[in-house]
Amino acid sequence: MHRTKVKVAEDALDANTTIANANRGDFDRAGVSVVNFMSAPGAGKTTLLERVLAELDVRAGVLEGDVQGSADADRISALHLPVVQLNTDAGFGGECHLDANMVRSALGDLPLGELDLLVIENVGNLVCPAEFRVGEDARVMVSAVTEGEDKPLKYPLMFRTCELVLINKIDLLEHLEFDLDRFLYNLDAVHPGVERMLVSARTGEGTEAFRAWLEGVAKRAPAAA
Amino acid sequence: MHRTKVKVAEDALDANTTIANANRGDFDRAGVSVVNFMSAPGAGKTTLLERVLAELDVRAGVLEGDVQGSADADRISALHLPVVQLNTDAGFGGECHLDANMVRSALGDLPLGELDLLVIENVGNLVCPAEFRVGEDARVMVSAVTEGEDKPLKYPLMFRTCELVLINKIDLLEHLEFDLDRFLYNLDAVHPGVERMLVSARTGEGTEAFRAWLEGVAKRAPAAA
């Protein structure tokens, strides 16, 4: 007797994982390391990239994710790096994150074989971007001190899933009531001991360390096949 | 000959609209006006509510939406107002917005018949909250000057869907390179002439106007049935 076996997908994110793995394979073959760069809107991701990418001693490219517009890609283009803008507004009202398939749709427009490092600047959002792997080697997030001390407790998955947390806009600390010790306590509560750097994209303070960190990630990639 | 007619839903948001309309009916019967209050993470929604709700001359309640935790509800409770915390982390990794059904699940815990105004503080996110009606009368958003001038262009649906935009943290303007004229130009590009107020939740500047505006919304509701 013939029986049809139906396998139920265990995870709504299964399709995403499959495509993320395909991206991962392409990145490995090209010998490129990939950073998924995330934050809330206006935390300073693009300004931080402007600070560090020009001086990088590895060959970098950028994939910019936004609901609409190409303002960030235009800013990065001025650094004479390969950059592709992905707009997510084809989804209903605009997707709030990049997923593996969106990233995959852009890979053909990037010269992967000529890069050591690809930075994927995700849509500004502290929730969903953390739920979708895109084939990255590392996740980095930016939390601006203007956003308050409670953010790790309110968006724990994002803080837990990153291996580096950049605490940005420290030039404004003297004008805020932000309690840095309390923020760090909350950060350690959701991701004990995670690497963190105090930076100011505006003044450049602390951004050297981030640049060196990115160069280190770039050197993790296997040699191109 | 018998034929089964299959009607295909035109809109993935149909179910949400149906439930939003049911919420709307409940609000009307109770004679309560409802504000959907939205922003990016850390823009200052809760601090603004702390500023204005204590002095309000109408009876207000608050529904707090967060991925995790009850910090905001705890803060509002100190004002001796009815408050209910909705956590969205039952979704995969946490839902990034409130939808009509989540709001509906909380209505039984609120004394709607004793309220003139219900403020629903949405999850901090500039994308998806704008896509889900929850049965509200009005939408208000907060955009902090620390987030930069480009936000209306990058998150146009959110700015377009609100009838009031609060431009918060103006006490920091002197310490930022934020170009207010440019922000307002961008705002008018996506939502021409939308009502806007310059406020500082920290100093209280401009928040009187927001309080009066909320009182005006509360008086829009029909008398309780």
**What CATH number corresponds to the domain at position A194?**
3.40.50.300
User: What's the structural domain count of chain B?
Assistant: 1
Q: Is there a domain that residue B28 lies in?
A: yes
Residue A93 pLDDT > 80, yes or no? no
Residue B47 domain boundaries: 14-218
Which chain B residues contact residue A86 at CB under 8 A?
none
Least Cα separation, residue B147 to chain A (angstroms): 4
Residue A134: pLDDT band with limits 50, 70, 90:
very high
Q: What is the mean pLDDT of residues B153-179?
A: 97
Whether the CB of A213 is below 8 Å from some CB of chain B: the reply is no
Nearest to A133 by CA among A146, A122, A142, A125: A122
| Whole-number average pLDDT of chain B | 93
Whether the CB of B70 is below 8 Å from some CB of chain A: the reply is no
Q: What share of chain B is helix, strand, coil (3-state, %, to 5)?
A: 40, 20, 40
Lowest mean pLDDT among A154-158, A195-199, B1-5, B157-161: B1-5
Residue B176: pLDDT band with limits 50, 70, 90:
very high
Interface test with A, best of B75, B155, B171 (most A CBs within 10 A): B155
Q: Indicate the residue type of A55.
A: E
pLDDT for position A1: 47
pLDDT for position B144: 98
Q: Residue A63 pairs with which residues in a beta bridge?
A: A84, A120
Q: Is there a domain that residue B183 lies in?
A: yes
Q: Is there a domain that residue B50 lies in?
A: yes
Q: Is there a domain that residue B224 lies in?
A: no
**Ramachandran area for residue B135 (φ above 0: left; ψ -120 to 50: alpha; else beta):** left
pLDDT for position A224: 78
Least Cα separation, residue A196 to chain B (angstroms): 20
Residue B224 pLDDT > 50, yes or no? yes
Question: What gap in Å lies between CA A110 and CA A45, rounded to an integer?
Answer: 20
Residue A60 pLDDT > 90, yes or no? yes
Residue A217 pLDDT > 80, yes or no? yes
Q: Residue A84 pairs with which residues in a beta bridge?
A: A63
Nearest to B92 among A12, A41, A68 (CB): A12
pLDDT for position B1: 47
Q: What is the mean pLDDT of residues B208-217?
A: 98
Interface test with A, best of B147, B162, B202 (most A CBs within 10 A): B147
Judged by DSSP in three states, B139 sits in strand
Q: Is there a domain that residue B1 lies in?
A: no
- Label residue B45 exposed, middle or buried (CB < 10 Å: 0-12, 13-18, 19+): buried
Judged by DSSP in three states, A214 sits in helix
Residue A51 pLDDT > 60, yes or no? yes
Residue B94: pLDDT band with limits 50, 70, 90:
confident
Whether the CB of B114 is below 8 Å from some CB of chain A: the reply is no
Question: What gap in Å lies between CA A166 and CA A146, rounded to an integer?
Answer: 13
Q: What is the mean pLDDT of residues A151-178?
A: 97
Interface confidence (ipTM) of the complex: 0.89
Question: What gap in Å lies between CA B69 and CA B72, rounded to an integer?
Answer: 8
Q: What is the mean pLDDT of residues B180-184?
A: 98
Residue A220: pLDDT band with limits 50, 70, 90:
confident
Whether the CB of A177 is below 8 Å from some CB of chain B: the reply is yes
The token duo for A19 is: 């495509």
Nearest to A41 by CA among A17, A69, A61, A60: A69
Whether the CB of A104 is below 8 Å from some CB of chain B: the reply is no
Lowest mean pLDDT among A86-95, A134-143, B32-41, B56-65: A86-95
Judged by DSSP in three states, B193 sits in coil
CB contact under 8 A, A177 and B202: yes
Whether the CB of A151 is below 8 Å from some CB of chain B: the reply is yes
Q: Is there a domain that residue A5 lies in?
A: no
| Whole-number average pLDDT of chain A | 93
Which chain B residues contact residue A172 at CB under 8 A?
146, 172, 175-176
Whether the CB of B153 is below 8 Å from some CB of chain A: the reply is yes
Q: Is there a domain that residue A4 lies in?
A: no
Residue B14: pLDDT band with limits 50, 70, 90:
confident
Q: Is there a domain that residue B29 lies in?
A: yes
